[in-house]
Amino acid sequence: MTVTPVTQATSATGPKARKDTASKAAEAARKARQDQLDPSTVAGRAGLTPADLDRFGEEMDVIRKRVLSELGEEDATYIRNVVKAQRAFEIAGRALFYLPPAWPLAVGALSISKILDNMEIGHNVMHGQYDWMGDPALNSRMYDWDNVCPGEQWKYSHNYIHHTFTNILGKDRDIGYGILRMDEDQKWSPYYLGNPVYALLLMVFFEWGVAMHDLEAENIVAGKRSIADNKPLYPGLLRKIRRQAAKDYLLFPALTGPLFPLTLAGNVTANLVRNIWAFNIIFCGHFPAGVETFTEEETADESRGHWYFRQILGSANISGSKLLHLMSGNLSHQIEHHLFPDLPARRYPELSEEVREACERYGLDYNTGPLPKQLFSVARKIFRLALPNRSEGPAPTPEAAKADTAA
């Protein structure tokens, strides 16, 4: 993947256009700010000064500190109950395969088990959200999920690379996962005509995509990584794949004797259901329209406040019911998750009110919407970016409007 260095040049004209109407004082104030932050940067366009970002960061730190001090029995009981529910669904699912008429129920139960295991438990536990409990069964260093990607390798690409360099083009490998074109600033090539097809394949084989993600194939193609760099990853990866395949595609089907084909088909289906669900939830986290990407230049030596700012503008939420939040591992609160990746995810819904309120005060776009809306927005982007960027036409409007109101 190559990165075009200059970005968002078009939308930066927004604030300039309003210059005539602004009062002299406001103009002077804005000029002072613009002196400090380049208007071609996301923060510059949002009309924020470094001091604003610092204050915003401090507010977020206060929230973080407060929640850390509140952690206790309720959080522990919650995650343990989710684990109990997940194990119960898993056992029920495996057992129901002995009753052929209950096949759909078995698949449903096993799918729920895998979704809970991967999302509300696995993803969050491996983020270290429950490390404070000191329970090895819920510790980020010990936990591994029901997924072909070894937790150990996922933690590197996800917790470190993705969460530290969120939405920085050229650094965050989760922008398109090295396969898709998910941002206008990713240079187009004819390869991307297949964008929708690649997305469909990634959805169907999502757990495999996640597992292969750590091999950084796109960086090998680009010459930034050698195949030898992957060598240390193979043993763990193969071991995990062997274990997952043996369990789902051999042992459990064999245990049901003559029902082997049905059980095998059921296990394949449950993995598929989990793949489709996880893919859709995760794609709604960073790819709906209006989510910002950042350049390496504007994030070099960034302040803690700017890091928080980037997490907010680089993420999007999904609004919905408690059940949706549970089944998405609370990644429906992607914004709060990116602000506080190591706080228990069950806290995100309550935190979202405070975060949203702070965003309003600072004039930051808080990107949220119901699942169908966010999904549609993502799908549109997948199709639209299959083609080259249309000539310097009107850029996505929310940014320009926002820069205006903030000024």
- Provide the 8-state DSSP code for 72: S
Which CB atom, from 60 or from 202, has the smaller least distance to other proteins? Answer: 60
Which CB atom, from 339 or from 382, has the smaller least distance to other proteins? Answer: 339
- Residue 85 CB, shortest distance to other proteins, in Å, is 11
For residue 67, give Cα distances in angstroms to 64, 331, 348: 5, 18, 10
- Residue 140 CB, shortest distance to other proteins, in Å, is 5
Contact (Cβ atoms closer than 8 angstroms) between residue 67 and residue 337 = no
Which CB atom, from 151 or from 329, has the smaller least distance to other proteins? Answer: 151
Token pair 């240390």 is found at: 232
- Residue 278 CB, shortest distance to other proteins, in Å, is 17
Which CB atom, from 31 or from 141, has the smaller least distance to other proteins? Answer: 141
- Residue 237 CB, shortest distance to other proteins, in Å, is 13
Q: In the numeric block, which tokens belong to residue 326?
A: 């549970």
Which CB atom, from 88 or from 401, has the smaller least distance to other proteins? Answer: 88
- Residue 367 CB, shortest distance to other proteins, in Å, is 21
- Residue 58 CB, shortest distance to other proteins, in Å, is 12
Q: Interface with other proteins by CB under 8 A: which residues?
A: 61, 64-65, 68, 71-73, 75-77, 84, 87, 91, 127-128, 131-135, 137, 140-141, 144-146, 151, 155-156, 159-161, 163-164, 240, 243-244, 246-247, 251-252, 255, 304, 307, 341-342
Task: Give the number of other CB atoms < 10 A from CB of residue 307.
Answer: 18
- Residue 300 CB, shortest distance to other proteins, in Å, is 15
Which CB atom, from 28 or from 251, has the smaller least distance to other proteins? Answer: 251
Interior CA angle at 339 toward 335 and 341, to 5°? 100
Which CB atom, from 53 or from 202, has the smaller least distance to other proteins? Answer: 53
* Cα 341 to Cα 9: distance, rounded to the nearest angstrom: 32
- Residue 346 CB, shortest distance to other proteins, in Å, is 13
* Cα 273 to Cα 276: distance, rounded to the nearest angstrom: 5
For residue 37, give Cα distances in angstroms to 34, 46, 47, 250, 297: 5, 10, 8, 59, 12
Give the phi and the psi of residue 160 in degrees, each rounded to 5: -90, -65
- Residue 251 CB, shortest distance to other proteins, in Å, is 6
Contact (Cβ atoms closer than 8 angstroms) between residue 313 and residue 42 = yes
Which CB atom, from 55 or from 304, has the smaller least distance to other proteins? Answer: 304
Q: In the numeric block, which tokens belong to residue 142?
A: 């010990």
For residue 12, give Cα distances in angstroms to 98, 172, 275, 388: 63, 24, 39, 22
Contact (Cβ atoms closer than 8 angstroms) between residue 387 and residue 188 = yes
Q: How far is CA 145 from the centre of its chain?
A: 17
Contact (Cβ atoms closer than 8 angstroms) between residue 296 and residue 169 = yes
- 404 exposed, middle or buried (CB, 10 Å; 0-12, 13-18, 19+)? middle
**Going by C-beta distance under 8 Å and a sequence separation of 6 or more, which residues neighbour residue 66?**
none
Which CB atom, from 145 or from 277, has the smaller least distance to other proteins? Answer: 145
Which CB atom, from 91 or from 197, has the smaller least distance to other proteins? Answer: 91
- 363 exposed, middle or buried (CB, 10 Å; 0-12, 13-18, 19+)? middle
- Residue 246 CB, shortest distance to other proteins, in Å, is 6
